[in-house]
């Protein structure tokens, strides 16, 4: 049977070998706008992995359009670096393109050397809190020319195509949206005026690169901004782009400040393909769907169903650069799937760091973290089969060591299985399975139901030991904590215990919030039930919303700090806290639990004592390291590494990276 994912496609004069596009994502790996070895290595690996086309960027068109961490395309001096990047992608089998963009009011004076960002209207950005300079008509013309000249440089550098970013809340979409465009001249007001700037950019670029050079545009299918452009307007804009000679349209979703989650775990796979379909039905050029397409089955389905012609697979190729080749060769189950945590790929950008990946410790370190074969294979024992232990075993085995992984439980996964229990977090359970598969492929031996002790250490007599024994939940010294209706969050998440109707959760960190949402969804409509009732008109829409968000539990979260969910990544936290409100979870921040009794929890909040009724009390106050073997192993003089929560409780990201580095550094 023909695989729709691996059919060639023609975009203008460019033949792409398959339907997988790696879209532009800001890597923050450029150095003062210049292409670096790190950037070249990163994209060369994705090209080797089998992507049909790779778009890098975004790249700048002038010095107000981005920052020095972006790839520069605004001066001829950057052409040699661009040439090297194009060659690295093309020489490894993929088509290469560059996305050009202007940040508009999303730029920040801190990143522009103190120069004021620009926009169609002087409206403060909700992201930067800064008011931009309102562009004059001559300045608008200059920016159009900047786009054209940057595109000319892209072609001169040897790229196969150029893409213009015309969405996501950046400059072109700021002109397009009535929310940010309040002009009363020929660039503002009616739809025809608001699309003028975007169309002028396209015309200028087409003139600069010629009619045979592929020109793509990335547009919003929906801005998800109240008072912004409508979905119908954006479809009409796409029609006009195709009429003006655009060769393909890549459809993304939302502005950066939109309140609809776009890239995180709770977003269902392929959910935004309907936006690509809405445009594909109106244009004759290839249309590319994007966002949360992280497995071949989803990609094949939306192409086969006629919703798009290609798929943009971005963060999934950060997690596993060989995703395309594995899918092409029938090895779908060998793929390490992106969990959409956004911790390394998006949250790092807020920290002014280069992109990394929770799932793939080598992402962004393709050269410096290469797993070279060991000069002398060692006998390595890994104790603990959670994220850290599996990562350590994979790295050590790939170096050629003889690795045995001992796990006292009946399956590998550890706390990944807990992380994947709450609604919308199932990707973490899949990651547990993915890593277990990678352990098997690495050649490491796995022994389940194996609690390591001194006798086993004596019998095994390894050359090196990696301890990844994890952590255990903390029980706080609160009066009444030993009552029978007090349980640990871990037991709730694994389904080992059930709770009563009124639940108080002590601890408002990530585990507490996830447990609260798991319980708050008990008794709500499933997605399947909601669709059935909606399609058949069984209940009014507003009633269905209530039935989908109000369950059978009354949940309250108590947190000593002044904010809840502080240990979530930035990209995840805001959505999770929206869900806390949406599902009716009550919260008490800056509150201290005084006592637990048979039917309530007493707290001190703002100097007042408050009684909260509780049929069940759930403890989610943190984790402490569990590491009973360290002294014994150290006393034997064997090489020793301690990783993950066994060293210090932290995030899954830290556990996987620590495990990888421990396995890599053995021998």
Instruction: Judge whether 617 lies within some domain.
Output: yes
Quote the DSSP letter at residue 245.
T
Mean pLDDT of 322-347: 95
Categorize the per-residue pLDDT at 592 as very low, low, confident or very high, splitting at 50, 70 and 90: very high
CB contact at 8 A, 410 and 448: yes
Instruction: Judge whether 453 lies within some domain.
Output: yes
Nearest one of 101, 100, 99, 96 to 14, comparing CA atoms: 96
C-alpha–C-alpha distance, residues 32 and 23, integer Å? 22
Residues 404 and 267 in one domain: no
pTM: 0.94
Q: Round the CA-based radius of gyration of the chain to a whole number and report it.
A: 27
Instruction: Judge whether 373 lies within some domain.
Output: no
Domain count, the chain: 3
Nearest one of 516, 514, 490 to 645, comparing CA atoms: 490
Is the pLDDT at 12 greater than 90? The verdict is yes
**How confident is the model at residue 422, as a pLDDT?**
87
Instruction: Please tell me whether residue 118 adopts helix, strand or coil conformation.
Output: strand
| Other Cβ atoms closer than 10 A to 666 | 22
Categorize the per-residue pLDDT at 279 as very low, low, confident or very high, splitting at 50, 70 and 90: very high
Instruction: Judge whether 446 lies within some domain.
Output: yes
* Choice between 176 and 347, residue whose per-residue pLDDT is larger: 176
Choose the final residue of a domain: 335, 350, 365.
Answer: 350
Mean pLDDT of 5-17: 98
C-alpha–C-alpha distance, residues 578 and 394, integer Å? 37
Torsion angles phi and psi, residue 588, rounded to 5: -135, 105
**Interval 511-550: pLDDT, tens:** 999 999 999 999 999 999 999 999 999 999 999 999 999 9
Instruction: Judge whether 365 lies within some domain.
Output: no
What is the pairing mode between strands 623-625 and 471-473?
antiparallel
Instruction: Judge whether 272 lies within some domain.
Output: yes
C-alpha–C-alpha distance, residues 344 and 349, integer Å? 8
Residues 547 and 607 in one domain: yes
CB contact at 8 A, 70 and 61: no
Is the pLDDT at 127 greater than 90? The verdict is no
Residues 192 and 87 in one domain: yes
Indicate left, alpha or beta for 472 from its phi (over 0: left) and psi (-120 to 50: alpha): beta
Is the pLDDT at 1 greater than 80? The verdict is no
CB contact at 8 A, 128 and 86: no
**How confident is the model at residue 423, as a pLDDT?**
85
Residues 389 and 317 in one domain: no
**How confident is the model at residue 300, as a pLDDT?**
97
**Interval 216-262: pLDDT, tens:** 999 999 999 999 999 999 999 999 999 999 999 999 999 998 889 88
CATH number at residue 164: 3.20.20.70
Cβ neighbors of 504 (< 8 A, separation 6 or more) are 556, 557, 558, 601, 612, 614, 616, 617, 618
Residues 193 and 324 in one domain: yes
Residues 176 and 97 in one domain: yes
**Interval 182-225: pLDDT, tens:** 999 999 999 999 999 999 999 999 999 999 999 999 999 999 99
Q: Which helix (H) or strand (E) holds 603?
A: strand 600-605
Residues 256 and 339 in one domain: yes
Mean pLDDT of 320-345: 96
**How confident is the model at residue 575, as a pLDDT?**
86
Residues 497 and 538 in one domain: yes
Domain span including residue 529: 486-621
Residues 49 and 182 in one domain: yes
Residues 407 and 540 in one domain: no
Burial of 340 (0-12, 13-18, 19+ CB in 10 A): buried
CATH number at residue 509: 3.50.50.60
Question: What value does the mean pLDDT of the chain take?
Answer: 95
Nearest one of 418, 392, 471 to 646, comparing CA atoms: 471
CATH number at residue 384: 3.40.50.720
Give the chain's end-to-end CA distance (angstroms, integer). 47
Residues 632 and 522 in one domain: no
**Interval 15-71: pLDDT, tens:** 999 999 999 999 999 999 999 999 999 999 999 999 999 999 999 999 999 999 999
Residues 446 and 543 in one domain: no
Choose the final residue of a domain: 305, 335, 350.
Answer: 350
Categorize the per-residue pLDDT at 327 as very low, low, confident or very high, splitting at 50, 70 and 90: very high
Is the pLDDT at 641 greater than 80? The verdict is yes
**How confident is the model at residue 265, as a pLDDT?**
87
Categorize the per-residue pLDDT at 113 as very low, low, confident or very high, splitting at 50, 70 and 90: confident
Instruction: Judge whether 372 lies within some domain.
Output: no
Instruction: Judge whether 218 lies within some domain.
Output: yes
Percentage of residues of the chain with pLDDT beyond 90: 91
């Amino acid at each position: 049977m023909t695989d729709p994912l691996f059919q060639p496609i023609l975009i203008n004069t460019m033949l792409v070998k398959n339907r997988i596009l790696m879209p532009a994502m800001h890597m923050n790996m450029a150095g003062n706008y210049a292409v670096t070895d790190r950037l070249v290595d990163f994209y060369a690996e994705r090209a080797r992995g089998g992507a049909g086309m790779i778009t890098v960027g975004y790249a700048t068109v002038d010095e107000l359009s981005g920052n020095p961490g972006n790839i520069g395309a605004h001066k001829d001096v950057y052409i040699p670096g661009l040439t090297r990047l194009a060659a690295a992608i093309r020489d490894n089998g993929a088509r290469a393109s560059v996305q050009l963009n202007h940040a508009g009011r999303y730029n920040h004076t801190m990143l522009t050397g103190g120069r004021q960002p620009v926009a169609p209207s002087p409206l403060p950005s909700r992201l930067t809190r800064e008011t931009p300079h309102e562009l004059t008509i001559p300045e608008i013309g200059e920016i159009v020319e900047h786009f054209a000249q940057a595109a000319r440089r892209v072609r001169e550098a040897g790229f196969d195509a150029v893409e213009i970013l015309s969405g996501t809340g950046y400059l072109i979409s700021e002109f397009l949206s009535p929310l940010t465009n309040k002009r009363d001249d020929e660039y503002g007001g009616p739809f025809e005026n608001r699309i003028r700037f975007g169309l002028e950019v396209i015309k200028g670029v087409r003139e600069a690169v010629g009619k045979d050079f592929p020109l793509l545009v990335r547009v919003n299918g929906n801005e998800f901004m109240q008072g912004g452009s409508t979905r119908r307007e954006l479809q009409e804009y796409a029609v006009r782009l195709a009429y003006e000679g655009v060769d393909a349209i890549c459809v993304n979703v939302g502005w950066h400040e939109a309140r609809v989650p776009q890239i995180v775990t709770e977003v269902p796979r392929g959910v935004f393909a309907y936006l690509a379909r809405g445009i594909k039905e109106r244009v004759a050029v290839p249309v590319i769907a994007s966002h949360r397409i992280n497995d071949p089955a989803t990609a094949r389905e939306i192409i086969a169903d006629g919703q798009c012609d290609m798929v943009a697979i971005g963060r999934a190729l950060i997690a596993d650069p060989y995703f395309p080749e594995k899918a092409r060769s029938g090895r779908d189950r060998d793929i390490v799937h992106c969990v959409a945590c956004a911790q390394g790929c998006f949250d790092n950008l807020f920290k002014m760091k280069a992109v990394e990946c929770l799932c793939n410790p080598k992402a962004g370190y393709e050269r410096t973290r290469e797993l070279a074969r060991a000069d002398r294979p060692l006998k390595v024992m890994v104790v603990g089969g959670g994220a850290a232990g599996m990562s350590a075993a994979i790295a050590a085995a790939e170096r050629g060591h003889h690795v045995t992984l001992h796990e006292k439980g009946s399956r590998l996964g550890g706390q990944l299985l807990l992380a994947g229990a709450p609604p919308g977090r199932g990707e973490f359970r899949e990651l547990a399975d993915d890593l277990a598969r990678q352990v098997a492929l690495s050649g490491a031996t796995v022994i389940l139901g194996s609690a390591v002790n001194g006798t086993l250490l004596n019998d095994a007599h390894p050359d090196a030991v990696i301890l990844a024994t994890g952590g255990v939940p903390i029980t706080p010294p609160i009066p009444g904590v030993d009552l029978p209706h007090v349980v640990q969050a871990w037991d709730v998440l694994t389904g080992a215990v059930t709770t009563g109707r009124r639940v108080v959760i002590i601890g408002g960190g990530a585990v507490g919030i996830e447990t609260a949402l798991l319980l708050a969804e008990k008794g709500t409509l499933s997605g399947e039930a909601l669709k059935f009732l909606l399609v058949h008109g069984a209940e009014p829409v507003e009633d269905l919303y209530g039935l989908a968000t109000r369950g059978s539990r009354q949940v309250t979260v108590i947190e000593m700090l002044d904010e809840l969910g502080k240990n979530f990544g930035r990209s995840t936290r805001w959505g999770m806290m929206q869900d806390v409100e949406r599902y009716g979870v009550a919260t008490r921040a800056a509150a201290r639990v005084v006592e637990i009794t048979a039917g309530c929890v007493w707290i001190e909040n703002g100097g007042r004592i408050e009684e909260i009724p509780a049929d069940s009390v759930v403890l989610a106050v943190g984790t402490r390291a569990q590491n009973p073997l360290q002294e014994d192993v150290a006393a034997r003089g064997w090489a020793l590494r301690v990783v993950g929560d066994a060293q210090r409780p932290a995030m899954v990201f830290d556990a996987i990276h620590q495990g990888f580095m421990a396995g890599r550094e053995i021998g």
